[in-house]
Structure 1
Amino acid sequence: MSSELIKRIFSSIILLPILIYLIIQGSLYFNLLLIFCFVISTYEWNNIAKTKQIKLVGLIFLILSFFSIYKLRNEFYGEYNLVFFVLLICISTDLGGYIFGKTFKGPKLTKISPQKTYSGVLGSFIISYFCSINYFYFFNNFFSKVSLLEISIIIVLISFVSQIGDLIISYFKRISNMKDTGQLIPGHGGILDRIDGMIFAFPLFYFLFATNIFK
């Protein structure tokens, strides 16, 4: 096991319970977390974006993305289940891609992110669906008006968008000759490295929720 992987595991063990606690607590605690992540993400984005126009577009997108997270947690019934649901899809998408990619290897997906493979993409969909559909059934009282087909489509869409977001940030890191957007989280890199897929997934989920798909 590499030293980087060990760092990644230990930092996840430490940070995950803190993240869960802050999301459940909501209110000031969660808002401070959002502000912190937004500020650091903006700083990291400015480091990898090359032109003022791209920096501005990225800043506007980050504002909209973090605002969608705020709305999901604080204004839609104050429910943290919505945030956890999207986080679970994104995290299991990353995990599935890593496990299947390392296990089955195979053809590379794109030069933008050389470590990504087609088997990893398949694994991302499989693992994210398995984890999220179980979460859906466990909290079926909250998602009671959503059919199995509807929630399945939503999971696949969120997983797909999460993977696209990962590739987009990887593209900008590649053209900036940067391996990571930062060094804040041992084994993970920067905040933007960790939430690259999430900042794309949350706005989509917010749109679906705001258009009454769960009502």
Structure 2
Amino acid sequence: MHVKRILSAVVAIPLLWLFILKGGALLFTLLIMAVAVIALSEYYPLVDETADRFGALPLLGYGSSLVMVALAYAMDNPWGALLGVVFLNIPLGGFFLLSRFETDTKVIKHLLTHVFGLLYIPMVLATVMRLRMAPEHGVMWIFTLLVTVAACDTGAFYAGTFLGKRKLCPAVSPGKTVEGFMGGMAGALVAGFVMKALFVPELGWFACLLLFPLAGAIGPLGDLFESSLKRSSGIKDSGQLIPGHGGLLDRIDALLFAAPLFYFFMVLGA
């Protein structure tokens, strides 16, 4: 397992470096489009045990995701347009589900979870796009987000391993501890201060004292949220895309909760 994780990191880190640092905004947009579609394809089976990843409703979701990421790339203030795409999915999704009304008692649930999936994944990834498109240090904002989330995960792992005693949320994720949670916040704070000092000078020190501990607290909630989806569906991993790590959604669950916070602070400091 550890060998698979290391090999996955060896492959993933250069690819991220290529897409984020050297690829430009357009290549980064294509990356986020791929992430949105893959993550959404892993989301549908978590909320609907009968979901066909290539059924009409998921295909509508994938197309909507591509449009939403493209809008986030092209528009300085895309939020109204993005919400328009989400709301348009209500009648469109209802139309695709018409044939199932007589035989499926969970049609309304399918439609609601579909709409929520668009808010949960492509809408949040739109904030990542807007971070990348920031007038100053957009690339460094992305790296700061990624490093902070990774440091939170690392701090939580080691603090939980060596100091963990009190369970944080055993019904959802038995392995998580209060000590690990605090270690994650500390890791996020330290990494965030380093990134601010080196790469994001426009972010004030007081803002750092708010942003990075909050990111360290909110990120694990994203992990717990996805864990609750997996537990309710009886699925261990959202997918097998990344050897040793499970699915893509398993890797970005914390980022999906932390990214809007970073975007808010970026806008606040602009």
Q: Give the TM-score normalised by structure 2.
A: 0.73
Q: Is residue 95–residue 124 contact of structure 1 (8 Å, CA) maintained in 2?
A: yes
Number of equivalenced pairs? 207
Counterpart-to-counterpart distance in 2, 1:9 and 1:37: 21
Counterpart-to-counterpart distance in 2, 1:14 and 1:121: 28
The residue aligned with 1:131 is 191
- In the TM superposition, residue 100 of structure 1 has moved relative to its aligned partner by 1.1
- In the TM superposition, residue 104 of structure 1 has moved relative to its aligned partner by 1.7
- How large is the RMSD of aligned CA atoms in angstroms? 1.5
Matched, 1:120 2:180: yes
Matched, 1:175 2:232: yes
Q: Is residue 72–residue 82 contact of structure 1 (8 Å, CA) maintained in 2?
A: yes
Of 143, 158, 161 in structure 1, the residue corresponding to residue 201 of structure 2 is: 143
- The amino acid of 2:242's aligned partner reads I
- The amino acid of 2:127's aligned partner reads S
- The amino acid of 1:114's aligned partner reads P
Q: Secondary structure at the match of 2:241?
A: coil
Q: Secondary structure at the match of 1:182?
A: coil
Q: Is residue 93–residue 125 contact of structure 1 (8 Å, CA) maintained in 2?
A: yes
Larger Rg: 2
- The amino acid of 2:135's aligned partner reads F
Of 214, 232, 249 in structure 2, the residue corresponding to residue 192 of structure 1 is: 249
Counterpart-to-counterpart distance in 2, 1:7 and 1:152: 36
Return 5+ residue gaps in structure 2 as ranges. Answer: 49-108
Matched, 1:55 2:52: no
The residue aligned with 2:161 is 102
The residue aligned with 1:80 is 139
- The amino acid of 2:164's aligned partner reads K
Higher RCO (CA < 8 A, seq sep 6+):
1
Q: Which 4+ stretches in 1 moved above 6 angstroms?
A: none
